[in-house]
A and B are shown apart, each in its own frame.
Chain A
Amino acid sequence: MGHTDPLLCARNVRRVLGSADNANEVLKGVNLSIEREEYVSIVGASGSGKSTLLYLLGGLDRPTRAINGRTFDPPSTIFIDGQDTSTLNDAELALLRNEKVGFVFQFHYLLKEFTAQENVCLPMFKLGKLSREQAMDRGAQLLKQLGMGDKVKRRANRLSGGEQQRVAIARALANEPAALLADEPTGNLDKKNSELVADIFQEISERGQTIVIVTHDHAIAQRAQRMVTMEDGNVIRDEDLHSLSLPGRGPG
């Protein structure tokens, strides 16, 4: 797994949800590559498959490998930092996720019994590279960088919605992930807090963090370097927002 590989790569990715009688093909053979340090937004109507694609890119879900016993050619596969996720068992995939990916969701999903700092530390405790004290220091530092320095010790359920989402972003960045994947991170926030979160994404992207964001908010999507548009389980447009539109750009 060299650095010449794309950081995240979807190759002919299909995803069928539901049982055989009620199957819904959410993704219909998506090809997409995310390079290092890219800031990519994925847009599309509800049900177009953008969130499903994000979960697959982050190893939170697995692509459908076959329908009615028929496999696909080429196989429906996700690569994370060059690693074919289909070769990993659930525990190995969880470890890869822990090390390489940070997720931010529409709802912050903070653990309410824990302080802001402890929530940020949870991925670091799992990775185990830092001692407890080092992890707590880094957690406090990340919160400080996101303007939460004075609320480090506050219980998660005593923070405002915007603050909770900032803690969730800090948590996603805790293990210095290769990719930060955000699913409608501003969907539950007011305009002011949405702007603040968008600014944070912009700032960390400028520091070289790879970001993939799924959003309905066109203004936020436009802040990315690249915008992928999905419709009915397919990528219909892949635009470099700083130059030309490249329809159907795939892993090559």
Chain B
Amino acid sequence: MRWFIAFRYFFSHKRQSAVCIAGVTISVTMFIAMSAMMDGFQDKFVIETVESSGHITIKDEPRETRTPILERVYKQPEALLEVHRVKPREQVRKIDNPGGLLASLARMPGIVAAAPAVQGNVIATFGTKTLNLSINGIEPERQLRVTTIAGDVLEGSFDRLRTTADGIIVGKGVADLLGVKLDDSVLLAGSEGGRTTARVVGIFRTGVTPVDYSRGYMLLNDAQTLLNKKNINNEIVIRTDDYTRAQEYATQIEGMAGYRTESWQEANENFLKIFKIQDLMTYIITGTLLLVAAFGVLNILIMSVLERVNDIAILKSMGYSRTDITLVYLFQGLVIGLIGATLGLGFGKLAIEGLRRIPITVEGLIHAEGLLMSEHASQYVKAFIVSNIIVLIAAVYPARRAAKYDPVEVIRGAH
């Protein structure tokens, strides 16, 4: 009965109702489309980063800075220590017994694969162009089990890396900046004095700009020689069964290995913070739109209440309670919310499909052909529920106002 009255009222003012619905529809559409775009960008970055660089990396450094020995001995805070000419002991940084560590990792639950590596910076020169390059010395068979970098190779292959002395696979950005092509030779100079001329045997593109513009892969032995780290592994790259749990696994591994162990989340903490700000901006923009729509609903329902004071009085005179009247108006809000949100979900889906088809090349933190749109059912559910709740809240005031009318006062006023 309340639905019956609410529906009839709702459809009697088609234009106003349509405007209210349009407001909700637009805000839900915007939320769905913007979230999909943000998520698409973030998902691409996360997936490509995780897949190209591994889920976890064990580094050859302790987590904490070592306390100087004198401070360890004299623990009293009042003690005045003055030490001159301190010369830290020179230590070769490396991961001790990497074979043993790899064997231990193989036994850990959740660890799918691990690969030893050496990492260091060199200066690459090709003709007149030079570039700082981050060299990853790898064992291709093992590396390809911890990353999907093989799938990102545009030209050449990791097989050629295996069979070519001093071969190098570089990122597309590196190749473009240096102007090198497949089979060109690049002069590499390490900071420890090592030098070599490496042949480009592959060019990859992960889509993650910082990786594509700075990384090169060489065979482990070649890289160790170039970086003057003979027989040294300074990184172990790990793949887990669930990249979202990488931080949890990293903590366990660090406890076991004693080396700083960095999950992909920690390595990309700054980017993840930026993503959170992006998400917040999406919520603020679409939330503002939804609030404007909610004010529209509030306004139109108040007009409806003022217009139907006599109806409210007569309904009360025939026995309709305050609750009945309240529900008649809340139901109108609910109808607006349900129709508006449902249309918004549909239009949001259409907007996503439309945006996907825009021929645009994205260059920035990531590289992509076309706008990256990532749909999550949770965003649809969130948009539907939140928009309905906000519209319903907007309907509360008019509903309560309607319910408060004293029928006798209304009827006396008409005399």
A residues within 8 Å of B by Cβ?
51, 55, 58, 60-61, 90-91, 94-99, 102-103, 105-107, 109-111, 113-114, 122-123, 125-128, 171-172, 183-184
Chain B residues, CB < 8 A from A97: 317-319
Chain A residues, CB < 8 A from B317: 58, 60, 97, 103, 105, 109
Chain A residues, CB < 8 A from B5: 111, 122
Chain A residues, CB < 8 A from B322: 90-91, 94
Measured CB to CB, the nearest residue on chain A to B407 is: A60
Chain B residues, CB < 8 A from A60: 316-317, 407-408
The answer to whether A94 touches B319, judged by C-beta atoms less than 8 angstroms apart, is yes
A95-B8 in contact given A105-B411, A125-B1 (Cβ < 8 Å): no
The answer to whether B408 touches A98, judged by C-beta atoms less than 8 angstroms apart, is no
Kindly state the separation between the CA atoms of A60 and B316 in the bound complex, as whole angstroms. Answer: 8
A126-B8 in contact given A109-B310, A109-B313 (Cβ < 8 Å): no
Report the minimum CB–CB distance from B278 to chain A (whole Å). 47
Kindly state the separation between the CA atoms of A123 and B317 in the bound complex, as whole angstroms. Answer: 10
Report the minimum CB–CB distance from B414 to chain A (whole Å). 5
The answer to whether B323 touches A91, judged by C-beta atoms less than 8 angstroms apart, is yes
* Interface bracket on B: 20 to 34
Measured CB to CB, the nearest residue on chain B to A109 is: B314
Q: List 14 A-B contacts (CB under 8 A).
A: A51-B415, A60-B407, A90-B321, A98-B318, A99-B319, A107-B310, A109-B313, A111-B8, A122-B1, A123-B318, A126-B318, A126-B319, A128-B1, A171-B318
Kindly state the separation between the CA atoms of A128 and B324 in the bound complex, as whole angstroms. Answer: 13
Kindly state the separation between the CA atoms of A61 and B409 in the bound complex, as whole angstroms. Answer: 10
Report the minimum CB–CB distance from A169 to chain B (whole Å). 13
Measured CB to CB, the nearest residue on chain A to B324 is: A126
Taking CB atoms and an 8 Å cut-off, the chain B residues in 310-358 that contact chain A are 310-311, 313-324
The answer to whether B414 touches A95, judged by C-beta atoms less than 8 angstroms apart, is no
Report the minimum CB–CB distance from B410 to chain A (whole Å). 9
Q: Which of A51, A111, A113, A127 contacts B319 (CB 8 A)?
A: A127
Kindly state the separation between the CA atoms of A171 and B11 in the bound complex, as whole angstroms. Answer: 23
The answer to whether B4 touches A125, judged by C-beta atoms less than 8 angstroms apart, is yes
Chain A residues, CB < 8 A from B319: 94-99, 123, 126-127
Measured CB to CB, the nearest residue on chain A to B319 is: A98
The answer to whether A122 touches B315, judged by C-beta atoms less than 8 angstroms apart, is yes
Kindly state the separation between the CA atoms of A98 and B321 in the bound complex, as whole angstroms. Answer: 10
Chain B residues, CB < 8 A from A109: 310-311, 313-314, 317, 411
Measured CB to CB, the nearest residue on chain A to B316 is: A94
Chain A residues, CB < 8 A from B411: 55, 105, 109, 183
**Can you add 8 more A-B contacts, CB < 8 Å, to A122-B5, A122-B318, A125-B4?**
A51-B415, A60-B317, A91-B322, A105-B314, A105-B414, A107-B310, A111-B315, A113-B11
Kindly state the separation between the CA atoms of A61 and B408 in the bound complex, as whole angstroms. Answer: 7
B12 within 8 A of A: yes
Measured CB to CB, the nearest residue on chain B to A91 is: B321
Report the minimum CB–CB distance from A83 to chain B (whole Å). 14
Most A CB contacts (10 A, CB to CB) among B315, B317, B323 go to B317
Measured CB to CB, the nearest residue on chain A to B320 is: A126
Measured CB to CB, the nearest residue on chain A to B408 is: A61
Measured CB to CB, the nearest residue on chain B to A103 is: B317
Q: Which of A94, A113, A184 contacts B12 (CB 8 A)?
A: A113
Kindly state the separation between the CA atoms of A58 and B11 in the bound complex, as whole angstroms. Answer: 33
Kindly state the separation between the CA atoms of A183 and B415 in the bound complex, as whole angstroms. Answer: 10
The answer to whether B8 touches A103, judged by C-beta atoms less than 8 angstroms apart, is no
Chain B residues, CB < 8 A from A114: 8
Report the minimum CB–CB distance from A46 to chain B (whole Å). 9
